[in-house]
Amino acid sequence: MRRLINKLKGLYKYRILIRTLVGRELKARYRGTVLGFVWSFVNPLLLLTVYTFVFGFILRPRDPSFDASPWSYALFLFCGILPWQVWFAASSMESSNILIAQGNLIKKMLFPTEILPIVSVTSNFIHFLFGLPILLLFVPLMGKPYTPYLLFLPVVILVQYVFTLGFCFLISSLTVHFRDIRDILTNLLTFWFFSTPIIYAMTFEPIQKHAVLRIFLNLNPMTHIMWGYQNCVYYGELIRWKRLGVTFIVSLILFFVGYYLFDRLRDSFPEEV
């Protein structure tokens, strides 16, 4: 454990390299486009528009708490779609292939392999931050007031960052040896998405009536992270500290387990990629 902690502390000396690679990744994503980084704001806006039209006006939700306004449900939906799709799902899929795609770097003896998942998670985190003002801008426009509980949003973001990074360490190290994980992950993320209260609320009546379903959803760490976003932005309520605190502990455990496995398998990466 002490060796593992010392290695984690050693990541700090690579901060300039991480910052450089993240900047390169952000520039490469929109290289050759006319709008460039403006797409970081336009994409979330288009995403919000599509989901508002489809789920707000065409596929109205069955939850009676959203019957008052289609705009209200669109805002609720975007509170989960933005951190899930732009950050978590994108980081997970990129990390499943990042070691294989960067095989030339890994084969260089002095290159710190562990920074690759960090670069993937951090670059997608910055894209999420670019989309966050779009979400916050539409809070009053869709009939919701700003509340002081919005100040707790960084706490939710921190929990998601640790959880996402731990999951990406785990996925990236395993995929080098088991390439099928990339295909499994695609289906897993779809199932995970619908097992997380993003398109429905935890207060939805069918969930409240089925104890087993409620327990299943509560065992999902992403449930409490998404609930945190919904509390801060949509409901304007205090985040559920106990549940989010347990989720943070689970995230830390996943982070250490993921990094430990990554560290144990790192010597085999050059041979497998």
Question: Percentage of the chain with pLDDT > 90?
Answer: 42
More confident residue, 158 or 37: 158
Name which of 20, 145, 133 is nearest 72 in CA terms. Answer: 145
CB neighbours of 141 closer than 8 A, spacing ≥ 6?
71
Read off the tokens for 60.
């109205």
Average pLDDT over every residue of 98-114:
81
pLDDT, tens digit, 9 for 90 and up, residues 247-270: 999 999 999 999 999 988 888 887
**Mean pLDDT of all residues in 97-105:** 84
Would you put residue 236 in left (φ > 0), alpha (ψ -120 to 50) or beta? left
**Average per-residue pLDDT for the chain:** 85
pLDDT of residue 66: 67
* Alpha-carbon distance values, 19 to 12, 25, 26, 158, 265 (Å): 11, 10, 11, 18, 25
pLDDT at residue 142 in the model? 74
| pLDDT given for residue 4 in this prediction | 66
pTM: 0.91
Q: What pLDDT is stored for residue 135 in this prediction?
A: 87
Q: What pLDDT, on a 0 to 100 scale, did the predictor assign at position 34? A: 62
Q: What share of the chain is helix, strand, coil (3-state, %, to 5)?
A: 80, 0, 20
Q: State percent of the chain over pLDDT 70.
A: 89
Question: pLDDT band at residue 32, thresholds of 50, 70 and 90?
Answer: low
Q: Band the pLDDT of 36: cuts 50, 70, 90.
A: low
What confidence tens digit (pLDDT) does each residue in 199-232 have?
A: 888 877 777 788 888 899 999 999 999 999 999 9
What single-letter DSSP state applies at residue 56?
I
Contacts with 227 (C-beta within 8 Å, 6 or more apart), sequence order: 197, 202, 239, 240, 243, 244
Radius of gyration of the CA atoms of the chain, in A: 20
77-99: pLDDT as tens digits: 889 989 998 899 999 999 999 98
Q: Are 250 and 84 in contact (CB under 8 A)?
A: no
What local confidence, expressed as pLDDT, does residue 67 receive?
A: 57
Strands (E), the chain: none
Domain ranges for the chain:
2-272
Q: Whole-angstrom Cα distance, residue 12 to residue 7?
A: 9
pLDDT digits (tens, 9 = 90+) for 117-156: 999 999 999 989 988 988 898 888 777 888 999 999 999 9
Residue 59: strand, helix, or coil: coil
